[in-house]
Amino acid sequence: MHKILPESLKKAIEDYETMQEEHLHEYDENPDPDYIKRNFERSKAFEELKNQVSANFNDLKDGKDSEKKKMFMEIMTKLVEQNKVLLKRAVQYRIVMEQKIKHLGHGKRALKGYGQPGQSNTTKFVGQTG
């Protein structure tokens, strides 16, 4: 697939594609994904891809090897499209989380109506003896 690209760039692209696939799969398998871990993985993969694109930029932009340039553009387009899918899934997940938080807020307000913990809502009677 990426045979005509330099090995370092090819590896960075493959790592980024793998990260995207794993994150999409995680949305399907895990109802509560670890966003800190996911952000770290994404940042690391993106930084490596960016560094490799920068290192190979002159070779890719010159147009001497139009097949290599065309393949690179197709790969980048695919990565961007996959990012759009991931973004859509992240937005959907955020909406669900916002609804859950709102629902929890309703419950919290309802519980406040019952008074403070340890406080009795029954009327106290004082007995008279005498």
pLDDT at 27: 84
pLDDT band at 34 (very low <50, low <70, confident <90, very high): confident
CA angle 47, 48, 49 (to 5 degrees): 90
pTM exceeding the 0.95 threshold for the entire prediction: no
Residue 56: is its pLDDT beyond 60? yes
Report the pLDDT averaged over residues 78-103.
Answer: 90
Give the span between the Cα atoms of 49 and 10, in whole angstroms. Answer: 9
Residue 102: is its pLDDT beyond 90? no
Find, among 76, 72, 77, 74, the residue nearest to 6 by Cα.
72
Residue 63: is its pLDDT beyond 80? no
Given a contact cutoff of 8 angstroms between Cβ atoms, the answer to whether 35 and 23 are in contact is no
As a whole number, the mean pLDDT across the chain is 83
Give the span between the Cα atoms of 101 and 104, in whole angstroms. Answer: 5
119: tokens are: 């406080």
Name the more confident of 80 and 93: 80
pLDDT at 96: 86
Burial of 35 from C-beta contacts in 10 A (0-12 / 13-18 / 19+) = exposed
pLDDT at 128: 67
Report the pLDDT averaged over residues 71-82.
Answer: 94
pLDDT at 10: 93
